[in-house]
């Protein structure tokens, strides 16, 4: 049923003036009602909303941005091609941004040069904030250029090159390592091995330190030869595991892997040696990639707190774009252990 008037529900050719006329108020009032500045629930409010609905009206984003200096857009720079962590972060960023009334403008960068370009380009587009998921081997900003005009708040996600001039949200790798060890200890592991990534490869780099210095559970590290560094590949995990279990006299009963690929290799080696996971040896990995669900048994993995990081990034950006204060906090969040088949649940006795 339509109202008695002549609604003209044509495509979005309607402007705020049409709504004002139909609602018999001024354009200013329409603007206030529709932007939430006018909170009353009276007749004016109803008339305006009714008119807007009838005309199928929605505000023109460009005009709004031009006038109010708020574009309603958050920029996101991610690695090209988009890797798994970036896709997870973006998947969490988008709903969080939407909930704050922001859209996402996505740019990708592969090199430092591209990163600089994209950052500049986005900032010039009047975005309300910028989130950078830095590609490997890239710094932000490369030079503290005119890029970072005081206008746009910037926040870096992941990476470990965060300059003191840039807000940063990352993973608490120390807590991650501790959680992994505690998880194994709780399941009665007595001797733990650690297959670390090479030290320069980021995410778990200082996890090695945490591993070797974790106070309460140091006694779990029996053999220095069980701490290895190397590539994040299936083959590396396979080779290291074979080597570790060559000497039947002394073998670990818990293995922490720098990522899921390494863990997959470990699993293959153990399977070949007829060592049963998790009964004889337990395995924990970092990253919780899709791989973790594919293996047999599935991998207990330390999952980066993507959702928490995304929400915090949005929150910070909103905060900084409103207030005048501009701090550059460096925040880390502890990841969560996803318990799966490769570790044994502790039985309550």
Stretch that binds DNA, among 58-66, 107-115, 189-197, 233-241 (CB under 7 A): 58-66
Residue from the set 15, 103, 205, 332 that interacts with a second copy by CB under 8 A? 103
Judged by CB under 8 A, the chain residues 257 through 276 that form the site for a second copy are 261, 264
- Residue selected from 7, 49, 59, 332 as contacting DNA according to rule CB under 7 A: 59
Alpha-carbon distance values, 173 to 138, 304, 324 (Å): 20, 9, 32
Q: Is 233 in the site for a second copy (CB under 8 A)?
A: yes
Contacts of residue 212, defined as CB under 8 A and 6 or more positions apart, other chains included, come to 218, 221, 227
Contact call for residues 213 and 264 (beta carbons, < 8 A): no
Over the window 36 to 65, marking each residue x when it contacts a second copy by CB under 8 A and - when it does not, the resulting string is --------------------x-x-xxxx-x
Q: Are strands 103-109 and 73-79 parallel, antiparallel or unpaired?
A: parallel
Number of residues that bind a second copy (CB under 8 A): 45
Residues 20-49 contacting DNA, CB under 7 A: 25-29, 31-32, 34-35, 37-38, 40, 42, 44
Q: With binding defined as CB under 7 A, does residue 100 bind DNA?
A: no
Quickly count: other Cβ atoms within 10 Å of residue 55's Cβ: 21
Decide: 34 and 83 in contact? Cβ < 8 Å. no
Say how many residues make up the chain.
349
Report the distance separating Cα 192 and Cα 222, nearest Å: 7
Of 4, 11, 41, 324, which one interacts with a second copy (CB under 8 A)? 11
**Which is nearer to DNA, 13 or 188 (by Cβ)?**
13
Alpha-carbon span 336 to 31, nearest angstrom: 45
* CA–CA separation, 221 and 32 (whole Å): 65
Task: Pick between residue 32 and residue 120 the one whose CB is nearest to a second copy.
Answer: 120
Dihedral sign, CA of 59, 61, 66, 71? Answer: positive
With CB under 7 A as the contact rule, which of the stretches 63-71, 192-200, 208-216, 334-342 interacts with DNA?
63-71
Counting contacts by CB under 8 A, is residue 101 touching a second copy?
no
Residue 296 CB-density burial (10 A; 0-12 exposed, 13-18 middle, 19+ buried): exposed
Q: State which residue, 30 or 292, has the beta carbon closest to DNA.
A: 30
Question: Is 100 a residue that touches a second copy (CB under 8 A)?
Answer: no
Beta strands in 7-72 (DSSP E): none
**204 SS3 class:** coil
How many helices (DSSP H) and strands (DSSP E) are in the chain?
Answer: 12, 12
According to the binding rule CB under 7 A, does residue 120 interact with DNA? Answer: no
Contact between residue 342 and residue 297 where contact means Cβ atoms under 8 Å apart: yes
346 binds DNA (CB under 7 A): no
Q: Which residues bind DNA (CB under 7 A)?
A: 13, 15-17, 25-29, 31-32, 34-35, 37-38, 40, 42, 44, 57, 59-60, 63-64, 66-68
Q: Which residues bind a second copy (CB under 8 A)?
A: 9, 11-12, 56, 58, 60-63, 65-66, 71, 73, 76, 80-82, 87-88, 90-91, 94-95, 98, 103-108, 124-126, 146, 149-151, 233-235, 261, 264, 291, 294, 296
């Amino acid at each position: 049923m339509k109202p008695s008037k002549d609604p003209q529900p044509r495509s979005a050719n309607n402007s705020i003036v049409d709504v004002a006329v139909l609602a018999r108020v001024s354009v200013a009032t329409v603007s206030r009602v529709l932007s939430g500045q006018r909170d009353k629930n009276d007749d004016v409010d109803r008339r305006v909303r009714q008119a807007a609905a009838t005309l199928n009206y929605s505000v023109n984003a460009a005009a709004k941005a031009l006038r109010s200096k708020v574009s309603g857009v958050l920029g996101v720079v991610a690695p090209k091609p988009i890797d798994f962590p970036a896709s997870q972060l973006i998947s969490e960023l988008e709903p969080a941004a939407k909930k704050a009334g922001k859209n996402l403008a996505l740019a990708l960068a592969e090199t430092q040069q591209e990163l600089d370009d994209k950052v500049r380009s986005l900032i010039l587009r009047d975005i309300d904030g910028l989130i950078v998921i830095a590609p490997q081997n890239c710094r932000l900003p490369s030079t503290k250029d005119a890029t970072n005009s005081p206008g746009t708040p910037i926040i870096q996600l992941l990476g470990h090159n965060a300059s003191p001039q840039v807000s940063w949200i990352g993973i608490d790798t120390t807590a991650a390592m501790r959680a992994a060890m505690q998880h194994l200890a709780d399941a009665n592991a007595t001797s733990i091995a650690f297959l670390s990534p090479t030290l320069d490869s980021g995410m778990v780099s200082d996890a090695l330190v945490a591993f070797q210095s974790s106070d309460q559970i140091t006694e779990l590290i029996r053999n220095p030869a069980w701490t290895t560094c190397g590539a994040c590949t299936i083959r590396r995990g396979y080779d290291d595991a074979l080597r570790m279990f060559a000497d039947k006299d002394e073998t670990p009963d818990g293995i922490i892997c720098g990522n899921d690929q390494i863990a997959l290799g470990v699993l293959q080696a153990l399977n070949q040696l007829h060592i049963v996971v998790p009964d004889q040896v337990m395995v924990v990995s970092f990253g919780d990639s899709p791989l973790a669900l594919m293996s047999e048994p599935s991998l207990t993995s330390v999952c980066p707190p993507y959702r928490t990081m995304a929400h915090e990034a949005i929150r910070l950006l909103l905060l900084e774009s409103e207030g005048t204060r501009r701090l550059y906090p460096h925040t880390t969040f502890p990841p969560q252990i996803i318990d799966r088949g490769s570790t044994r649940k502790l039985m309550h006795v």
